[in-house]
Amino acid sequence: MPKIDITALPSESGSGYPAPYDAGFEKRHVTRLGKAAGLTQFGANLVRLEPGAMASQRHWHENQDEFLMVTKGTCTLVEDEGSTTLSPGDCAAFPAGNPNGHHLVNNSREDAEFLVIGTHSSTETGHYSDVDMMVRVTDGEYNFTRRDGSPIRGEGGQ
């Protein structure tokens, strides 16, 4: 049955970012619709943000197109040019390789929700605009480092 039974799917909270950049993501809830339905070429995730939550660290992708549509509540899109309020039905897109870091934040007092689509690729490099972090992804393995490639938690305990 191609219709997806969304209410039957698990919702994931938390983040795979290394500390301290994983703080606050317990208020972000991700339901992986495309994965549940057997899609492999792109991700299709429904993301619920509690008030005050962000959907991700502000970032951009070298290799992967990204598209989103707000489905409930109000989200704030933050990117290099500033902030834009997005309401249900509003869409935004981020072509691969455009270094305009972006993320959604819920600055409202109600839950907000959006659908996000992102290409799957065997390798990817992601850059973060507001924190000293980058990620290289190879076959699903995420390797987070500082922008200069050094470990985020160095041997010196920094």
Residues lying near a copy of itself in the complex (CB under 8 A) are found at 1-4, 6, 33-34, 37-42, 44, 46, 64-65, 67, 69, 71, 77, 79, 81, 84, 86, 89-96, 98, 100, 102, 115, 117, 119
Q: How far is the CB of 111 from a copy of itself (least distance, A)?
A: 14
Rank residues 18 and 88 by Cβ distance to a copy of itself and give the closer one: 88
Q: How far is the CB of 40 from a copy of itself (least distance, A)?
A: 7
Tokens of 150: 């050094």
Q: How far is the CB of 52 from a copy of itself (least distance, A)?
A: 22
Instruction: Look at residues 116, 154, 157, 145 and name the one whose alpha carbon lies nearest to residue 18.
Output: 145
The Cα–Cα gap between 113 and 102 comes to: 17
Rank residues 119 and 145 by Cβ distance to a copy of itself and give the closer one: 119
Under a CB-based contact definition with an 8 Å cutoff, are residues 117 and 44 in contact? yes
Instruction: Look at residues 28, 94, 105, 22 and name the one whose alpha carbon lies nearest to residue 61.
Output: 94
Rank residues 65 and 111 by Cβ distance to a copy of itself and give the closer one: 65
Give the CA diameter of the chain. 54
Through-space distance between the first and last CA atoms of the chain, rounded to whole angstroms: 51
Q: How far is the CB of 100 from a copy of itself (least distance, A)?
A: 7
